[in-house]
């Protein structure tokens, strides 16, 4: 992979999306929602959430949709420069959100991890953890149950399903029309009960994506370990074939010798369905972004970006990979402001 673009944003980028024409980026940052013109480098902060913005999507070339740690979804029109709608989705924050391929539906997941037992088993949800709504009207269509905290969500490619993964490694797959949970996946491989520093659960599924045929799900996170707070668990992906009920089975996972250490929190599937990218934070090893064959699971190539990757996206024509994330926040100001620490890079695939 050859780097073709390198841009900075003032604050950490927690989520974002490249516009359909490939020219603009919508970035959900700690201090609000920005756009960045990749060609000119002009960046603009358009609006804020009451806390960090977590996700940002293009509903059209003129309208942004975002969710934040304030539990809100916001709609913003670029031509008028005004927010045209907002919707309180959750009492707690939006851990992750997704937009259906046709841009008609949104899904957002929430859930506060509260100690439910002596070993810190998560308590039951106090509000529905999965919200599905209408992008045009903002209306919530479904509020669906899960076990908090639910940290990752994705739509299927046909737009009929929503998958949501949680702290404990449980994925629930919902039919977005009926709201029924039609399948579950349960894996203990992304969650640790801390032994060294903490007696509690940590980790979980931080990203998931449907494969192009919608028959399987890719899950990403960090492998189990005695001290999850060290963050040096195995860089882990798993591929699960889901089926109705609880008959889902794991069909592949990161191959021995191909992983380093770190929390993986971003996934992207190539538009041609030949490969996928996984990225996150490097703790040990020599890569924090890698491409894998969807067919064989073999690692194809790697990147060491030098910063935490929160978002990955292949361009529509499949020629490039967009990488977004954050370096550590600087520990002092320079000329009255913190130096930029949000990162956006583009890599051409060879």
Partner 1 sequence: MNQPKRRSSCGSDEHTIHRRLFLQGTMAASTASVASFNGLFSVPLLAEETKRHGKKCILLWLCGAPSQFETWDPKPGTATGGPFSAIPTNLPGVHISSLMPKCATIMDKLAVIRSMSTKPSEHFQGIDALTRGDMPRPPFTRPILGSVIAEQLGQLDSPVPQFVLLDPCPEGNEFKAFKAGNWAGWLGAQYGPVRAGGDYGIPNIKQLDSISQADHSDRESLRKFFSKKYENDRRSAAAASHNAAFERVKGLMSCAPLFDMESLPQSDRERYGGGAFAQHALQARHLIENGSTFVMVANGMPWDNHVFQHEMHQMLVPELDNVLYQLISDLEQRGMLDDTLVIAMGEFGRTPWLNDARGRDHYPKAWSLAMAGGGIKGGVVHGATDAEGFEVTDGKVDNRNLFATIFTALGIDPHEDYDLPGLPTFFRVEEDAHPIKEVLV
Chain positions contacting partner 1, by CB under 8 A? 11-12, 30-31, 50-52, 69-70, 92-93, 112-121, 123, 149, 167, 194-200, 202, 227-231, 263, 281, 283, 307-308, 325-331, 338
Phi/psi at 230 (5° precision): -75, -20
Closest contact distance (angstroms) between CB of 227 and partner 1 is 8
Contact 215, 269 (CB under 8 A): no
**Cβ at position 20, least distance to partner 1 in Å:** 30
Give the list of residues 6+ apart from residue 269 with CB closer than 8 angstroms, or none.
Answer: 209, 210, 211, 212, 218, 275, 276, 294, 314
Question: What is d(CA 29, CA 13) in angstroms, rounded to the nearest whole number?
Answer: 4
Q: How far apart are the first and last CA of the chain?
A: 6
The DSSP symbol for 220 reads: E
Cβ distance to partner 1 smaller for residue 20 or 115? 115
Cβ distance to partner 1 smaller for residue 33 or 167: 167
Least distance from C-beta 163 to partner 1, angstroms? 20
Q: Measured from the CB of residue 188, what is the shortest distance to partner 1 in angstroms?
A: 18
- The structure tokens listed for 302 are 């790697």
Residue number with CB closer to partner 1 (230 or 349): 230
Q: For residues 65 and 252, what is the distance between their CA atoms, to the nearest angstrom?
A: 34
- In whole angstroms, the minimum distance from the beta carbon of 110 to partner 1 comes to 11
Distance CA 151, CA 169 (A): 10
Closer residue to partner 1 in complex, CB, 121/316: 121
**Nearer Cβ to partner 1 (17/265):** 265
Biggest CA-to-CA distance, the chain = 59
| Calpha distance 170→204 (Å, rounded) | 8
Q: Considering the complex, state which of residue 116 and residue 271 has its C-beta at the smaller distance from partner 1.
A: 116
Cβ 106 to partner 1 shortest distance, Å: 21
Q: How far is the CB of 132 from partner 1 (least distance, A)?
A: 23
Q: Do residues 291 and 250 touch, judged by C-beta distance below 8 A?
A: no
Q: If you search the block for the tokens 């929190």, which residue do you land on?
A: 265
């Amino acid at each position: 992979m050859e780097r073709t673009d390198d841009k900075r944003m003032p604050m950490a980028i927690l989520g974002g999306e490249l516009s359909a024409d490939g020219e603009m980026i919508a970035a959900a940052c700690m201090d609000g929602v920005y756009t960045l013109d990749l060609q000119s480098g002009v960046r603009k902060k358009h609006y804020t959430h009451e806390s960090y913005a977590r996700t940002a999507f293009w509903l059209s070339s003129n309208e942004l949709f975002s969710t934040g740690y304030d539990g809100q979804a916001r709609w913003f029109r670029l031509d008028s420069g005004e927010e045209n709608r907002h919707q309180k989705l959750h009492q707690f924050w939006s851990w992750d959100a997704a937009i259906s391929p046709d841009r008609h539906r949104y899904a957002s997941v929430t859930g506060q991890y509260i100690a439910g037992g002596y070993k810190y088993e998560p308590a039951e949800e106090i509000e529905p953890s999965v919200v599905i709504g209408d992008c045009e009207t903002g209306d919530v269509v479904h509020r669906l149950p899960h076990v908090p905290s639910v940290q990752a969500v994705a739509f299927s490619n046909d737009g009929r399903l929503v998958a949501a993964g949680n702290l404990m490694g449980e994925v629930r797959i919902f039919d977005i029309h009926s709201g029924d949970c039609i399948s579950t996946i349960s894996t203990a491989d992304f969650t640790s009960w801390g032994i060294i520093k903490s007696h509690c659960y940590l980790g979980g599924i931080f990203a998931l994506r449907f494969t192009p045929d919608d028959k399987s799900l890719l899950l990403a996170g960090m492998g189990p370990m005695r001290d999850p707070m060290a963050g040096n668990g195995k860089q882990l992906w798993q591929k699960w074939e889901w089926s109705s009920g609880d008959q889902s089975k794991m069909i592949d996972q990161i191959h021995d010798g191909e992983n380093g250490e770190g929390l993986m929190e971003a996934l992207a599937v190539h538009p041609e369905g030949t490969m996928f990218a996984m990225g996150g934070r490097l703790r040990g090893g020599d890569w924090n972004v890698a491409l894998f064959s969807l067919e064989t699971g073999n690692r194809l190539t790697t990147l060491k970006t030098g910063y935490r990757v929160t978002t990955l996206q292949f361009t529509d024509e499949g020629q490039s990979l967009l990488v977004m994330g954050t370096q550590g926040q600087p520990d002092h100001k320079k000329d009255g402001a913190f130096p930029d620490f949000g990162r956006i890079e583009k890599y051409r695939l060879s």
